[in-house]
Every structure is written in C-alpha cells, then in structure tokens.
Amino acid sequence: MARNYILGGQAGTQLQAGKPFFKRIARIDGTGGVNRNVVNTLKHPDSVGFTCDITADGEITFDISSQPWVASGNRNSGELLMVEFPTTMRSVEINLEESWVAGVKQSAADSEIRLKVMLTAQRSTNGQKTHFFDADGNPDASSPIAKPIENGNYIEVMQGETATISSRTKVVFILIQKFAPGGNILDPATGFVNGSTAAGHAEDAVSILITGVLDHEPTSGGSQAVNEPNSKIIEDGGADTRTLRKIWGAADGIG
C-alpha cells in the first residue's frame, strides 16, 4: 500500500508502510456448548480460538464454550469472537462471505445469520470494563463499562455484506447471531427486529473473512500509559490472565 509522508519522511513522522493481514474464521453449530479452544475440523476448521465471553465483572474470558446463536429479544445474545491483531490496525474489513441455516446455504436476500461488529464487547447484559486496572495495577472498581449494543455502537452485516472500520485498533469483536426470517433490521411499526426464538441448529454455519492493514508501530512513550484503556483477559483453563492494551475505552460512538 502506498503512503505519502510529510517533510522528514519516515524519521519525521514515525510512520511506515503497513503490512497486509488476512484471516478466515469458520464457525459451525449454532446450538452452543462447543469447545472452540481445541482442534475440531467439523465445528471450526482452521479456526481454533477466538470465541470468548464477557464476565459479570467486565472481564474478557476465553475459558468458555460457545454460546447459542439465538439473538434473543434484546438482540444481544450469540457467539462472541475477539480477533486480536499482531499490531494495531489502521483499517479493517469484516465480510460475512457465507452463511448457512440448518444446512441450507443463505442467499444475499436472507438475513437469518448476522454479525454485529464492535470495537468494544458486549454479550447479553454484560459489558466490557475498559479501564480494568488503575495506575498501580490494581482492579479499578470505578472503571467505565462499555455496552456497544445497548448504545447502538456496532455495525450489523448480513450475508455478503462487509463492515469497514478505518481507525487504529488492536482488536475487533464479532457477535454471531441468528434471527427469524424476514430480511429486515428495522420494523417501522415496532422498532428493531427481535432475535429468533427458534433454537440454533447444529448445521448453522458462517465463514467470516477479515482483511486489513497492520501498523508497523514505533516504540511509543510511556508517560500516558497509566491513562490508556485496558481490559483483563482470562485465558483458556482459567489460571492465566493478561492485560489487553491499545484498545478503545468506553465512550460515545464506541460503547
């Protein structure tokens, strides 16, 4: 990708050309209860990991099995994915390239399987704490909590559609959901269309293509590090945790 520089070139701007990033994630079985942390070519071929949840305390946990895809009446349930990039991204596109409902391939006019693409995470009523640790490294009880679905801070895509984000971020969250047949996001008579009440099916499936451009990041100064948004991640197994940084915090337009 070409990039123009102001006077001083790379040294003057600390900008370098980006690297391409491609990732395809497959998910099969919308009934829930699938361990996505182990290899299973029948349930998530070449796509181990990614599935997570948000705890009641606002943590991002991978120590879980998949959740049912049924979107529910509040449109906030489903299987949540966290895609973490090697560096920050300067732009990213998430394409729902293929979807299946009960073993039947969907067309562009269908909308039973959808994705909500977010910069912060929410699943059900649990939102992500975006300043989990304070300046001393201790859990911060006053951390803001991001709830992008409740606040309308998401991009919803159907079969064949693409969500585009042109902003630096380290992660994106994708909520896979199943809706009743109908093809609409909004009903002028009642508001947003509610989620499906039908159970997920073992042959519900999606193929998600993620493309973007990675930053080559210069070493940043640490003077503002204590004020940067951060979240706590619980790894599969529950024993290991780490801090996720270089993310967006809870804010208007984010969650």
Q: Which two tokens stand for residue 185?
A: 């996001």
**Residue written as tokens 């997920």?**
200
Q: Which two tokens stand for residue 203?
A: 């042959």
Strands 231-234 and 60-61: parallel
User: How confident is the model at residue 12, as a pLDDT?
Assistant: 42
Q: Give every CB contact of residue 216 below 8 A, 6+ residues apart in sequence.
A: 16, 17, 18, 19, 87
Q: Which two tokens stand for residue 4?
A: 């123009």
User: How confident is the model at residue 185, as a pLDDT?
Assistant: 77
pLDDT digits (tens, 9 = 90+) for 210-225: 999 888 654 444 545 5
**Residue written as tokens 């070409």?**
2
CA–centroid distance for 8 within its chain: 37
Amino acid making up residue 238: G
Would you kindly state where each structural domain of the chain is located, as residue ranges? 18-215+223-244
Q: Which two tokens stand for residue 72?
A: 């529910």
User: How confident is the model at residue 234, as a pLDDT?
Assistant: 93
Q: Flag residues of the chain having pLDDT under 70.
A: 1-17, 183, 195-198, 216-227, 251-254
Q: Give every CB contact of residue 24 below 8 A, 6+ residues apart in sequence.
A: 46, 47, 207, 208, 209, 210
Q: Which two tokens stand for residue 228?
A: 């940067």
User: How confident is the model at residue 6, as a pLDDT?
Assistant: 34
Q: Give every CB contact of residue 139 below 8 A, 6+ residues apart in sequence.
A: 132, 133, 232
**Residue written as tokens 């929410």?**
122
User: How confident is the model at residue 211, as a pLDDT?
Assistant: 93
Which residue, 47, 118, 131, is CA-closest to 76? Answer: 118
Rounded to an integer, what distance in angstroms lies between the CA atom of residue 53 and that of residue 49? Answer: 12
Identify the DSSP state of 179.
Answer: B
